[in-house]
Amino acid sequence: MFGDRYGMGWFWHVGTFLGGVVLTAAIVVVAVLLVRYLIVATRAAQLYLDTHATTPPAAAEPPPATPPAKPTPRTPKTPPTA
């Protein structure tokens, strides 16, 4: 009866497009800020560890190894036959 005279008309399409552009831009900005934060945070953490890391005490040299024992002569269970 009234047809398509009421409503938003083509403004709905323009508003939807602009809303999509704004939403996409917001997602891109949040992603860029997150990546930037992660890069800066890992670099700062590495700098902190480099300056505040406790160095373990130097390990003492191990004592010199004892020479291996001489092998015992082989004693066969049965004497060799001539």
Query: How far apart are the C-alpha atoms of 23 and 42, rounded to whole Å?
Result: 29
Under-70 pLDDT residues of the chain: 1-7, 76, 78-82
pTM of the complete model: 0.51
Q: DSSP class of residue 69?
A: P
pLDDT of residue 21: 98
pLDDT of residue 35: 95
pLDDT of residue 5: 64
